[in-house]
Amino acid sequence: MSALARIFHKGLVRNIPKSITFYSVTAEKKDDDEFRVLNLKVTKGRSAQRRKPYKANILPPRTTQMPVDQDWGSVWPGPRTFHPATVPLPIRQGYVEKGASPDKYGNPELMKIPNFLHVTPPVVKRQCEALKKFCTPWPKTLDTDEKCEKFFPIEVTYSSYCHSSPTIRDPLARIVTLKMKLSSLKLDDHARDKFRRLIGDRYDEKTDTFTIVTDRCPTRKQNYEYAMYLLTAVYHESWAVEPWETLKSEADMEYYDWNNNASKKTVEQMFKKEAKDIENINEYITAVSSLMNEGESDYTVNNYGLAVRKLLNLPIENT
Amino acid sequence: MSINNIKQSLFKLSQFQQHTKYAIHTTAACHKSQAGRYRITPKKDFPLTYEMANPPHQIAHRKSWNSWNTSSTEGGLRTSETAVEDMFIRKFMKGTWHGLFMSEIIIKRQHNMIRIAGIVLQSISSRKMYFLIGYTEELLSFWLQCPTKLELQTVSDKKDVVFKYI
């Protein structure tokens, strides 16, 4: 009984290290498909097995099996780096002093440059067709630019920026520019004058437009709303007449107004009737106003002379 | 000590300071005449890739950039962050794909997408390569908080990318 127990005990003792070696052997005997195991307890004496160079079983490039009439849009559906086995074109890139450029296989230059293989004309056409159902037709009555300007007088401009970075925020995207023709606002003489004084150098006389640029708020929406607020405020303010505005005298006038000036009184005295009843008076008014407002030049002085002759019924010189 | 003496000594001190200021470089030396250029070996058997064969001044003439992003445009955002991230990606790729990349690592960014391209040797099994692609994409996307894609091309031999021997 005791002998049997001893044998059993012996066997147990003998078996334990055996099983350990068994496991370690399996760990070394792995096939090449597995990652190597980090062996911290380096056992000396056993030289590391020399790894055979891995020989991959590589299929021939996909381009050899491609039918001529394949649908390229489904082969290359999105933006992607160039791959020689997928693109069936004999492309070459690179500079060689003598001889042909390097071909497409193993050519990093072709992988660097951005390609447009995903936006070939048929694909663009197909995508436009797909997007068409989300578009609304252009209003038929808005066929000319004049009509667009008339019914939509305010022009708002802003920029969106696409960066290659994880943030979609760009501080420049907040800037909103509002453009409008002064003639499209309902203003009388006083209000127009005041409007121009309020907006100052934002008005361009050549095109009769004024421009409001807002960039003080952090977002575009706020800036747009602020621009609209400014427009409203300036419009209503220009219509308001303050009590001190009646004190404006001839010396404060920024331009020559014939109706307020001595010329009108003199003409009325001479003809002994109201200015509006005098013949050829309108031509005379424009001639005098242009002479005073635009300054003396051959053209304005000649015009003035002609107008005076017409007004006073004098013979016109044929020069 | 007269005022003149003090003046003279101050002048000397300032001169000394000027010299010391110019003697110490606080930035890395550029080595413009050496960087990116390779010396011809006696046996003319040193392999060069196309990238190595063209020195840096040929960028935009014979070869193009390895990083493509908008941070260097006027008003470009995240200039330094992009550069540091690109450097990190390069180091990570070099370590993860040890001895496998046969070309430079090309990093192209579009919006928040980072696309990493390059030429890899077919010296590991496809299973390992798929694992490494997934591992790299997953980890880089997590760290950079951007979708990252690996677009690789494989070559069977190192000689496939060799442009010339010098």
Is A36 in a helix, a strand, or coil? coil
Query: Is the pLDDT confidence value at A30 over 90?
Result: no
**Average pLDDT in chain A:** 84
- What ipTM, to 2 d.p.? 0.79
Interface with chain B: mutation pick from A38, A112, A115, highest number of B CBs within 10 Å: A112
A167 to chain B: which residues are within 8 Å by CB? 77-78
How is residue A247 annotated by DSSP? G
Please give the residue of chain B at the shortest CA–CA distance from A33: B125
> What's the average model confidence in pLDDT over A106-115?
92
Query: Is the pLDDT confidence value at A29 over 50?
Result: no
Answer yes or no: is A217 within a domain.
Answer: yes
**Average pLDDT in chain B:** 87
d(CA A156, CA A211): 10
Query: Is the pLDDT confidence value at A33 over 90?
Result: no
Return the axis-axis angle of helices A220-239 and A189-199, rounded to nearest 10°.
140
Answer yes or no: is A51 within a domain.
Answer: no
> What's the average model confidence in pLDDT over A20-37?
52
Q: Is A288 found in the same domain as A306?
A: yes
The burial class, CB within 10 Å (0-12 / 13-18 / 19+), for B73 is exposed
Alpha carbon of A68: minimum distance to chain B alpha carbons (Å): 24
A292-300: long-range contacts at Cβ-Cβ below 8 A with a sequence spacing of 24 or more?
A: A292/A256, A293/A255, A293/A256
Query: Is the pLDDT confidence value at A267 over 70?
Result: yes
Residue A203's DSSP bridge partners are: A210
Is A159 in a helix, a strand, or coil? coil
Range of the domain at A271: 256-311
> What's the average model confidence in pLDDT over A224-243?
94
Q: Do A84 and B153 touch (CB under 8 A)?
A: yes
Q: Is A215 found in the same domain as A174?
A: yes
More confident residue, A259 or A109: A109
Question: How far is CA A226 from its chain centroid?
Answer: 21
Of A84, A111, A172, the CB nearest to B117: A111
The total of structural domains in chain A comes to 3
Query: Is the pLDDT confidence value at A26 over 50?
Result: no
B109 to chain A: which residues are within 8 Å by CB? 164-165
Q: Do A79 and B110 touch (CB under 8 A)?
A: yes
> Taking the model in full, what pTM does it have?
0.69
More confident residue, A1 or A200: A200
Share above pLDDT 90 across residues of chain A, in percent, rounded to a whole number? 48
Q: Is A226 found in the same domain as A190?
A: yes
Alpha carbon of B42: minimum distance to chain A alpha carbons (Å): 22
> What's the average model confidence in pLDDT over B64-91?
92
Task: List the domains of chain B with CATH numbers.
Answer: 33-165 (3.30.300.20)
Q: Is A166 found in the same domain as A102?
A: no
pLDDT band at B22 (very low <50, low <70, confident <90, very high): low
Q: Is A219 found in the same domain as A163?
A: yes
Query: Is the pLDDT confidence value at A265 over 60?
Result: yes
> What's the average model confidence in pLDDT over B72-101?
92
User: What is the interface size between A and B, counted as CB pairs within 8 Å?
Assistant: 113
- For residue range A61-83, what is the model confidence (pLDDT) as tens digits? 889 999 999 999 999 999 999 99
Q: Do A81 and B117 touch (CB under 8 A)?
A: yes
Of A56, A84, A94, the CB nearest to B50: A94
